[in-house]
Amino acid sequence: MSTLLSSTQHGSVILTLNRPERANAFNFEMTQALQQALVDAENNPQVGCVIITGSGKTFSAGQDLTEMKQGEEISYNEHLNKTYNPLILQIRNMGKPVIAAINGACAGAAFGIALACDLRIAKSTSYFVVGFSGIALAPDSGVSLFLSKYIGLGRAQEYFYTNKPIPAQLAFDWGIVNRVGGFNYQRLVTQMAEELARGPREAFALGKKAFNKAYLPNLEEILMYEGILQEEASKVEEHRRRVDAFFSRRGKS
């Protein structure tokens, strides 16, 4: 079964993260598939809008921790520079609107990906978790920048330190999320995507560049810096201990 499903609907491409048995956590294969799908969407003139969502009950749990458990020798900085950093830049640099359709829990690097999208539409039962501190890591995937921009430095740090969930309604009140839907969630996503897919395409692409320059001029630099800090965090014993604890709590030591 493919780790990323792709379908088209009224000028939009829907990219569905598809590892529901692992809470749609990103392994290397899924990250590469998403990178390629975004290139294809950018190059396809039939596509005016991209939707990223998750299959089953989760949006995504972020990085697949089993890859971290196996890869004792992995350099987190190198890994970030091959995976989430280019992905985040791709989302921001593509000349088409990208909607994150948040169908369930969204944690860690997946939170960064969702925050990098142009809009977020959330199911009322969904929630966000910064996630990193739970396994003794620093924020990456642009979370340090995006989250503090959306909710302010004090709140962003609080939710990083405490790892408390941010429920969809609170995320809406704080401006992280553009729309929250209950029974009408799917319709909100479809209507918004259809509207954005109609364009005006060239103006949308230029407008996105303007917002990037105005609001995120140092995004690339921050992503690189987060990678350097994450490398340091990954070498601290507490990180390995917490990853092991995550799996032993679930009976998978």
Which is nearer to ligand T3D, 213 or 250 (by Cβ)?
250
Provide, rounded to whole angstroms, the least separation between the CB of residue 200 and ligand T3D: 36
Residues 6+ apart with CB under 8 A from 166: 127, 128, 129, 159, 174, 176
Provide, rounded to whole angstroms, the least separation between the CB of residue 158 and ligand T3D: 18
Provide, rounded to whole angstroms, the least separation between the CB of residue 86 and ligand T3D: 12
Of the candidate residues 17, 33, 41, 61, the single one contacting ligand T3D (CB under 6 A)? 61
Which is nearer to ligand T3D, 12 or 85 (by Cβ)?
85
Beta carbons of 168 and 175 less than 8 angstroms apart: no
Please state, in angstroms and rounded to a whole number, the distance separating the CA atoms of residues 5 and 18.
7
Q: Among residue numbers 125 through 144, which ones bind ligand T3D (CB under 6 A)? A: 129, 131-132, 134-135, 137, 140
Which is nearer to ligand T3D, 32 or 190 (by Cβ)?
32
Which is nearer to ligand T3D, 12 or 144 (by Cβ)?
144
55 binds ligand T3D (CB under 6 A): no
Q: Among residue numbers 91 through 120, which ones bind ligand T3D (CB under 6 A)? A: 104-105, 107-109
Which is nearer to ligand T3D, 118 or 140 (by Cβ)?
140
Please state, in angstroms and rounded to a whole number, the distance separating the CA atoms of residues 249 and 253.
8
Provide, rounded to whole angstroms, the least separation between the CB of residue 66 and ligand T3D: 5
201 binds ligand T3D (CB under 6 A): no
Which is nearer to ligand T3D, 121 or 137 (by Cβ)?
137
How far, in Å, are 208, 217, 219 from residue 214 at the CA level? Answer: 10, 6, 11
230 binds ligand T3D (CB under 6 A): yes
Provide, rounded to whole angstroms, the least separation between the CB of residue 40 and ligand T3D: 24
Q: Which residues bind ligand T3D (CB under 6 A)?
A: 22-23, 25, 57-58, 61-66, 76, 79-80, 83, 104-105, 107-109, 129, 131-132, 134-135, 137, 140, 230, 250
